[in-house]
Chain A
Amino acid sequence: MNNEYIIEMLNITKEFPGIRANDNVTLQLKKGEIHALLGENGAGKSTLMSILFGLYQPTSGIIKKNGVEVKINNPNDANALNIGMVHQHFKLVECFTVLENIILGVEPTAAGPFLSTKDARAKVMDLSQKYGLSVNPDALISDITVGMQQRTEILKMLYRDNDILIFDEPTAVLTPQEIEELMKIMKNLAKEGKSILFITHKLNEIMEVSDRCTILRKGKYMGTVDIANTNKEELSRLMVGRDVKFEVDKDEAKPKESVLKIKNMTVPSKVHKNNAVKNVSFNVRAGEIVCIAGIDGNGQTEFVHALTGLEKMSEGHIEFKGVDISHSSIRERSKSGMSHIPEDRHKHGLVLDYTLEQNMVLQRYWEPQFQKAGFIKNGAVRDYALKLIDQYDVRSGQGPVTTVRSMSGGNQQKAIIAREIDKDPDLLVAVQPTRGLDVGAIEYIHKQLVAQRDKGKAVLLVSLELEEVMNVSDRILVMYEGELVGQLDPKQITVQELGLYMAGAKRDEVPAEV
């Protein structure tokens, strides 16, 4: 039977208790095409792909390969159907070598169970040459770059002779240059007859690389379009359901005196022997949003931790509102007017098993307002929480006594933002404040950051999202391998240029004072 589609997912519905993650979704993948799957965070893309990869079973609907219905009960079944997947969070064992990771699960053996890697090594080298995926098969995963790790994941699929390749948000962790490289590899793979499913929420990438695009919104199927006959605006309308402004509304910044002065900060790394942050100096003025841009893992986390007191620096000074706080405790810094929206809301930002109201006073429970002689004033805490919930529109099942773990990510983040902004800080340190949120929540948070700035407060934003960097900030500092390599004006540079700085291909002297 001659069939145009290599994989068809027809009328797929997937229900979790109380929620319908996929609602009658259809996706048809042609042989040799690059097919994008577009949707916001939480739109059901990952669920759909997990169904195709055998991690979940659909509640209803069928999957066909080459026109024949198939059942995919686990990743082994998917593999047998030659379906492979590069997960957003790589599934690589850090203390194994590249080669060990590639052969894991399909290990070649010589006698009985004993490993024999000679042929496997040859095959991996062949594949890496053929598709331009250079790796060192004997390097440990923990020692190689994110880009190399991704190549390992791709080789894992190719080694298994997969011809349907799923890429789940593959560009989130790459530099603009690495992204270009990946696009080339993907086109190459398609040319060799591989069929590619490309999950993303980034419109530019879809326009550049894919042939067709299927759009999901809140679990529902919005349609499939030919990229040749569409544009970014139409795609974003389909994705979000309304027109989206890509620009953030804001006036010219009116910076005043310096609030934060950092001099020669050096922070040792916990994972390797080098310093994570090297001799960083800059200042932040009241009434401006300064953004630290860079690729994940270039010292931003350590920098913020040293700034807020979570980690110690080995050298340097921090001056905040004219006071040296280099050795102050976390609480002292917080008391003196520094707020911190942490990178990882589950790790640092919230005690997930505490109630919403308990989390609202996480940094202030000790204030006279909330305690007397060591006893917590429950009434005052409740009133305060209700006020914040109301003011910042934090939604939850049971109001102030909701366990935070049960709240949606967007509302968890809103709770943190409410808590941090309500402290009326002179400096707001916001680290990836919009990670994993939908467009509505992102717009809301950006508005809050700009409002802080307009109130005359200093805002230090750390972001990996290029669009956010370009749209929200008044001044960009680029961090590369722990050093500041450029100070840029968002109105005067292009994304490509910014990318060169982020990749370390270009650098200038950064003045310590503005």
Chain B
Amino acid sequence: MSNTTTMKSAAPKNSISRKSGLISATNSILSSIVCIIIGLLVGFIILVCINAEHAGEGFMTILIGGFNNINAHARNISKEIAEAAPLIMTGLSVAFAYKTGLFNIGAAGQYSVGALGALYFALVLHMPWYICILAAMLCGAVWGAIPGLLKAFFNVNEVITSIMFNWIALYGVNELLKNNVLGKMYESTKNKTYVVRTTSAGSAIPNMGLDNIFSKSTTIAIFIAIIVAIIMYIIINKTTFGYELKACGHNKDAAKYAGINEKRSIILSMVIAGALAGLGAALFYLSGVGEWNPNDSTACPAIGFNGISVALLAVCNPIGCVFSALLISHITVGGSCLATAYYQPEIADIIIGVIIYLCAFAMLFKMLIGKVVKVKSTSDANADPQIELHEPDSDKEAEKEDEE
């Protein structure tokens, strides 16, 4: 392979990494935006199919999302922010596990068990809100640990396990709540669990004055979520622990060869992912965005599943999860604002579904965009033609090597 161009230590240390990092980040964002635009377009087409007359108006409703009726009351925007916080967490849960090469489709189950923990500590034990949060995280962590253990020691595919554990969690939590097995949590007259803020005021996440601007359910949860996202970003990118997890995710065998305990990494990764999902449930129920309905035993909480969309749309970048969660919450709230006379709120779910479907081959978009960007940068970066000359063929070369 002697036509490989030489480029040893000459380049300045930092500029190289920064430049290539920037390009790849831009590509990721662009490809996500392409997914969103196509998803919205599909949504528009569906609106037209159902009722062409009001399609434009309906589409605007979805686009405006939380800002619908903002002048009359802040209900929608409050809801958007309040639902974004737990979504960020389930998104982080999926994204974090994905860095270790695990697809945590079980965020919904971990979320359910986390909800049970939070509600038990709040409604029965009347603990302060931060203790309730920790309890929820612990419950989620335990539920996440099981698929992790099964993967590490029995090599059972975590996707199937997580799905099974979603259902087991759902039925189990419903059973415990509905029959008040652990204590009085279920208000049968309302078909829901008791409201945290009225039953145990100290267990509700504080508003810190946000309720003056928005509604009561807007708490500091959103800030907690953002801070956790930043912490996750640092763990993944700056620490030896993150280095180990990513090594396992990219190449399990090489990680083992490097002396990294890959079983431990898998389990820890799932434990943390579970804790994050559990925290998400705490942020939802302790803020009082809604109450749990134990009679609904047919589908796992949507916030758990939408975490997958959040993570994929963010290309599993923790900071990106904040923005993608806000966007998905935005579209969902927009959907719920649709005039029910003409449209169904589930149209928002279809849009989100389409977006993830597209995310599955977002790599393709990324590559296409990458090519366009590369062509452009080649034309204005003649200063160092050697590097540019080398880059496009390098992949092919490595491939060829494999063939030989």
**Chain A contact residues, CB within 8 Å of chain B:** 16-19, 21, 41-42, 46-47, 88, 218, 308, 310, 329-331, 334, 340, 342, 346-355, 358, 362-363, 365-366, 371, 374-376, 382, 386, 389-390, 393, 395-401, 405-412, 436, 438, 440
Contacts and interface: CB of A to CB of B under 8 A. Distances in A.
Given A363-B258, A376-B239, A397 B17 contact: no
A358 B261 CA distance: 18
Nearest to B247: A351
B398 A408 contact: yes
Contact of B240 (A17, A366, A382, A395): A366
A349 B4 contact: no
A407 B393 contact: no
B5 to A, nearest CB: 7
Interface centre among A18, A352, A358, A371 (most CB of B within 10 A): A18
Nearest to B2: A218
B259 A354 contact: no
Contacts of B253: 347-348
Nearest to B238: A375
B198 interface: no
B398 A407 contact: yes
A355 B24 CA distance: 14
Given A366-B240, A375-B239, A19 B403 contact: no
Given A18-B389, A331-B259, A398-B20, A42 B250 contact: no
Contact of A376 (B238, B247, B397): B238
Given A18-B393, A347-B254, A397-B387, A411 B4 contact: yes
Given A365-B240, A366-B240, A405-B395, A398 B257 contact: no
A366 B240 CA distance: 7
Contact of B401 (A42, A353, A376): A42
Nearest to B11: A399
A382 B20 CA distance: 16
B398 A406 contact: yes
Interface string B226-265: 0000000000001111010011001101111111010000
Nearest to B261: A329
Contacts of B4: 395-396, 407-408, 411
B9 A390 contact: yes
A18 B404 CA distance: 19
B389 A353 contact: no
A396 B7 contact: yes
Contacts of B5: 395, 397
19 contacts: A21-B400, A46-B403, A330-B256, A334-B259, A351-B247, A351-B254, A351-B255, A362-B254, A375-B239, A376-B239, A395-B7, A399-B7, A399-B8, A399-B9, A399-B11, A405-B395, A406-B395, A409-B1, A410-B401
A105 B211 CA distance: 70
B20 A401 contact: yes
Nearest to A348: B257
Contacts of A42: 1, 400-401, 404
A313 B8 CA distance: 42
B16 interface: yes
A218 B3 contact: yes
Contact of A354 (B250, B257, B392): B250
B390 interface: yes
B376 interface: no
B393 to A, nearest CB: 3
B188 interface: no
Contacts of A218: 2-3
Q: B3, B254, B395: which has the most chain A beta carbons within 10 Å?
A: B254
A418 to B, nearest CB: 13
A18 B396 contact: yes
A397 B390 contact: yes
B7 A438 contact: no
A374 B240 contact: yes
A32 to B, nearest CB: 29
B119 to A, nearest CB: 34
Contacts of A331: 259
B239 A395 contact: no
B191 interface: no
Contacts of A354: 246-247, 250
A406 B5 CA distance: 13
B344 interface: no
Nearest to A17: B392
Given A397-B394, A401-B20, 13 more contacts: A16-B393, A330-B259, A354-B246, A362-B258, A371-B240, A375-B239, A375-B240, A389-B8, A389-B9, A395-B7, A397-B5, A408-B1, A409-B401
Give the 8 A-B CB pairs with smallest separation, nearest first.
A18-B393, A331-B259, A409-B401, A408-B1, A406-B394, A19-B393, A18-B392, A348-B257
